[in-house]
Amino acid sequence: MNINRGHLLTEQANRASENLDQLSPLELAALFAAEDKLPQQAVEAAVPALAAAIEAISAKLRNGGRLFYLGAGTSGRLGVLDAVECPPTFCSDPALVQGLIAGGPPALLRSSEGLEDLFEAGRTDLETSNFGTADALVGIAAGGTTPYVLGGLSFAKEIGALAVAMACVPTEQAQMPCHIDIRLVTGAELLTGSTRLKAGTATKMALNIISTGVMVSLGKVYGNRMVDVAVTNAKLEDRALRILADLAGVERKQGLQLLVEANGSVKVALLMVAAQLPALEARGLLMATNGNLRHALEKNGYRLK
C-alpha cells in the first residue's frame, strides 16, 4: 500500500533537531527535555474530549459493557499496558478493560509493524473477543491512518458500540470513524517519524486519565485513595493498611485482622469500622450501592473518622 503520509504532522521533520546527530549528550538531553513539555500541553488541549470519553465509557461499563483499547506498534502496547494495570490498581475484572494489539501477544515483545496494514484484522480481533453493542472501543493511532485501527473503529460504529478515536495529528489531516475524537497534537518528533516519543508520551498520559477517570466514576476510589486495591503483595498490603489508618484511624495490627475478615477488601474493612458491623453485613451494604463506598456510607448515615 504505497501511500505518501508526508503531510501528517507526526511524519514531518522537526527543525529544532536538524543537527540531532551532532549534539553532545548534554545538548541532546536538554533538547528532549524542552520538547517533552509539549505532550502535557497537547493533553490539556484535549480535556473536553477526554471528559466526554470518560463519561461515555463509564455509562457503558455501568450497564455491563467493557472497554477495549485497539492499536498497533507503540499505540497498541500502550493500550495493553493501561489495560493490564487496571486489575491490580482497581481490583477490576481482567475482562473489564482489555487491550488488543495488531499481531496479538507476540507483538508486545517483537515488532510486527506489517500487521497494522490489515483493515479487516481490527474487526476480526474484536469479533474474536466478542466485542458487542454494549462495549466501548478506544482506537489508538498516532498518525490517525493505521488500517487495523480504522477497521476496528468502523466495526464499532457499524454495530452501535461506542467508538473513541485517539490520534496525534489534527482531524483535517486524518479522519477517523468515531463518536468521540481525541486529538493530542504534539507536533513533529525530534527523531522524524518516531511516534514512540512525544506522541507516545501524550498517549500514555491520556490513557491514564481515561482509565482512572472511568474507575473513579464507577466508585472504585474514595477521595484520592484506591480503596479497591487488590492486596496481592507486601507493597499493596502496606498501602491497604495505610488507607485504613488514614481514613478510619485503624492501627496496623487491627488493620491486618480486618483485611483477613474482609477477605482482602479495603472497602469492606472501612465499612466494618464505620458501621461497627461484621464483614458479611458490611459487604451486603456495599453490594446494595454497587460497590460504591461513599454511597454506602451516606445512604446508611455512617462516617469515617
Is the distance from CB of 168 to CB of 202 less than 8 angstroms?
Answer: yes
Identify the CA nearest to 176 among candidates 184, 167, 187.
Answer: 167
pLDDT digits (tens, 9 = 90+) for 128-178: 999 999 999 999 999 999 999 999 999 999 999 999 999 999 999 999 999
Average pLDDT over residues 300-304: 91
Predicted TM-score (pTM) of the model is 0.92
85 given a catalytic annotation: yes
How many whole angstroms separate alpha carbon 270 and alpha carbon 47? 33
Burial class (CB in 10 A: 0-12, 13-18, 19+), 64: exposed
Three-class DSSP category at 166 = strand
Q: What is the DSSP string of 146-157?
A: -HHHHHHHHHHH
Predicted local distance difference test score (pLDDT) of residue 129: 97
Set of cell numbers at residue 31: 533538547
pLDDT digits (tens, 9 = 90+) for 208-217: 999 999 999 9
pLDDT digits (tens, 9 = 90+) for 267-284: 999 999 999 999 999 999
Query: What sign for the dihedral angle of Cα 143, 149, 155, 156?
Result: negative
pLDDT surpasses 70 at 218:
yes
With bands split at pLDDT 50, 70 and 90, how would you rate the model's confidence at 112? low
Predicted local distance difference test score (pLDDT) of residue 114: 66
Identify the CA nearest to 229 among candidates 273, 293, 275, 277.
Answer: 293
Three-class DSSP category at 163 = strand
Class (C level, CATH) for 23-217: alpha beta
pLDDT digits (tens, 9 = 90+) for 16-25: 999 999 999 9
Q: What angle do CA 216, 89, 73 make, to 5 degrees?
A: 100
Give the residue extent of every domain in the chain: 23-217, 234-299
Which one of 27, 85, 172, 251 is the catalytic residue?
Answer: 85
Average pLDDT over residues 31-53: 97
The one-letter code for the residue type at 209 is I
Is the distance from CB of 165 to CB of 98 less than 8 angstroms?
Answer: no
CATH fold label, 234-299: Helicase, Ruva Protein; domain 3 (1.10.8)
pLDDT surpasses 60 at 1:
no
H helix runs in the chain, sequence order? 25-35, 38-45, 47-62, 73-84, 86-90, 106-109, 119-128, 147-159, 198-217, 234-248, 252-261, 266-275, 279-287, 293-299
Which one of 27, 116, 261, 298 is the catalytic residue?
Answer: 116
Please state, rounded to an integer, the average pLDDT across all residues of the chain.
Answer: 94
pLDDT digits (tens, 9 = 90+) for 74-98: 999 999 999 999 998 998 999 999 9
pLDDT surpasses 60 at 228:
yes
**Which of the two residues, 124 and 229, has the higher pLDDT score?**
124
Set of cell numbers at residue 34: 524542552
pLDDT surpasses 90 at 288:
yes
Percentage of the chain surpassing pLDDT 70? 98
116 given a catalytic annotation: yes
How many whole angstroms separate alpha carbon 37 and alpha carbon 186? 9
